Each structure stands twice: as C-alpha cells, then as structure tokens.
Amino acid sequence: MAAETWMIIRRAGLVFMIISLSTLLLYNPSGPLRFFRLSSSCSRSSSLQPLSPKAVVRLNSILKRASMKNNNTVVLTTLNSAWATPNSVLDLFLASFKLGNGTRRFLRHLVIIAMDEKAYNRCRAVHRHCFALRTHGVDFRKEAYFMTPNYLKMTWRRIEFLGIVLQLGYGFIFTDADVMWFRDPFTRFFPDADFQMACDYYKGSPDDMENNANGGFNYVKSNNRTIEFYKFWFSSRETYPKHHDQHVLDKIKSHPYVSEKLRLRIKFLDTAYFGGLCEPSRDLNKVCTMHANCCYGMLNKLHDMKIMLQDWRTFNSLPSKHRNVSIFTW
C-alpha cells in the first residue's frame, strides 16, 4: 500500500515535471539550445554543462561536412584518452571500417567526439572529423570504470550531447569505439523506426520491449519524436539517480509518455546482425557489427577486438563455399 502510494506520488511528480518542462519550452523562444540551458539551470547534481553557442556553431559545421548528404546522417563515437593511445581501441575500430565489406566509406561520415584533450589531439592526427566535448570539473582521461561517478557523468553527457545533434537536424548511428564494423548496417535497419538499438540479449522479436538495450550501438533519426525522447531520457536521470543511461532507457522505454504521448517507434536489432560478446553473432555471413562488450579491463577488450579482426580476415580469405561458422573463436 505504502509502496503503491509512493509510486503514484513519483509518477505525479514526473508528469508535473514534464508538463512544467514543456510549458517552459513553449514560452522560451530561443531556438535549439533552449532545453539545454533549462536543464543545466534546474539540474541538481550537475557539473555537466550545455554547449556554448560557439561550440554549437563549431559542432554544426562539423556535422554538416561529415553528414551523408541525402539523409543528414552521421556516424558518431565518443573517445577518451585511454582508448585513443596508439595500438588501442581507436586504431582497431578504424581498422575494422577498412577491413569490413562496404564500411570504409562510412569513415567519411564518422565524427569522433573527444572527451578530453589527449583524445582530441590523437583524433586530429588520424581522422578528419573531430569534436572536443568539454566537461568542466570531470576528468574523463582515464578509463572510466563501470558505474563510478565519472562513468555515470560521461554516459549522461553523451545522452545530452546526442540530443543536441538531433536538435540540429542530424540523425546518427551512435557506435561505441569497441564495436567492430564488418558490413553496412543500413541494410539491416528498419526503415520505419525512429529509434533502433542493439541488444545484449535478443529475445527473438524486434518489437519485444523485454529486449535489453545495449547503449553502445543505435540508429536514431532526427524528428520531433526523437528530440522529445532524448529530452525525456536525459531528464529521467533525476528520477533514477545512480543508474546509467542504459538502465534508465530500460525503465523508460515502455513509459506511457514515450509510447502514447510521443508515439516513438522503437525497434531492437537482432544480435545475429548486431552482436556483442554477451551474445555473439554466430554467422559471419550475417554479421554487421560486433561489440567487444561484456568483458572488463582494457587488455581483455583489446584481445577480443584483435581476435574479431583476425577471424574476419580469415573468413574473407576463404573461398566463399567454405565461409561457414566452423572457424569461430569467439
């Protein structure tokens, strides 16, 4: 009984928050930045800061240059210095685009979001589209260990940032840099979805809301529904403190505000095409991307990524009739 009352109060609070947020937005005429100004002034915990107007101009020009011209879409990843050092995650990530079938062309559309200065400098040395996302008061230089306060701040900074990209009118494929690209993912995306994402475990249907989201790979179109959805997602960090973006997504994905009010069209991607080490793709004839997740520690991750690349090379060197599942080492 008490628990139920508590839930009702919390829901009412949430609804009230949404209503006041949208009312404020309605009366604030200052363009695409308005939500982020608002969120920074009302968020309690935050050392996160919205982008300065200058940074938005810079971001916009990078997105414009990098985007696929016919559909305003970019590929985005975030990078910190631990992943940026030579022979580390970034190099293997970029190597996969070059080795993959039909993936090299996406390098032209890839924007690397550097979370610190070292990552930015390394990006500039090896890639053409780099954006420095500054976050004052937080040190993202080291490998941010899962669920530490810095890790949480970094994941929320990312959600906030992706919301800005949508507001600027760009859709994106977000990919963690420990995702290996082997084939063109567009061939497996659902044409009629707003928001589609990879899963840790796939339950057999793209519409099953019980699928566990994997925040490391998703494809989001820019439209009113997704823009509002990212605002809602970002603001929900206050409703579920101490949870990272992916957990919060699992909590809000079936929320009536999302399904009934926004009518966001969500799809989950099959691990046969978008696999991870929680549930690897078993058939290299199908795989588009493989995520070196579900393993902890940098050395393990690098080891797994190298094995994936090696398996892909081996697979491609085989005559096509021998390209079957038996060569797998994952």
Ligand X SMILES: *[C@@H]1O[C@H](CO)[C@@H](O)[C@H](O)[C@H]1NC(C)=O
Q: And the tokens for 27?
A: 């009366």
The three-class DSSP label of residue 132 is: strand
Ranges of beta strands (E only) in 127-202 are: 130-132, 171-175, 179-181, 195-199
- Nearer residue to ligand X within complex by CB, 185 or 216: 185
Of 19, 78, 49, nearest in space to 215 by CA: 78
Q: Please, which residue, 110 or 115, has the CB nearer to ligand X?
A: 110
Query: Smaller CB distance to ligand X: residue 102 or 241?
Result: 102
> How near is the Cβ of 223 to ligand X at its closest, in Å?
4
User: What crossing angle do the helices spanning 224-235 and 149-167 adopt, rounded to 10°?
Assistant: 160
Minimum distance from residue 311 beta carbon to ligand X (Å): 13
254: CB partners within 8 A, 6+ apart: 209
Q: How far apart are CA 217 and CA 176, in angstroms?
A: 6
- Tell me the closest approach of the beta carbon of residue 165 to ligand X, in angstroms: 13
Contact (CB, 8 A) for 107 and 94: yes
Tally the C-alpha atoms within 13 A of residue 63's C-alpha that lie toward its C-beta.
25
Q: How far is the CB of 109 from ligand X (least distance, A)?
A: 8
**DSSP E strand boundaries for 195-251:** 195-199, 213-220
- If the CB atoms of residues 272 and 278 are measured against ligand X, the closer one turns out to be 272
CB of 228 to ligand X, least distance (A): 9
> Which residue lies nearer to ligand X by CB, 68 or 95?
68
Beta carbons of 180 and 307 less than 8 angstroms apart: no
Q: Which residues bind ligand X (CB under 6 A)?
A: 68, 70-71, 73, 101-102, 186, 223-224, 316, 322, 324, 326
**Residue 122 vs 183, nearer CB to ligand X:** 183
Strands 171-175 and 213-220: antiparallel
Q: What is the smallest separation between the CB atom of 108 and ligand X, expressed in angstroms?
A: 9
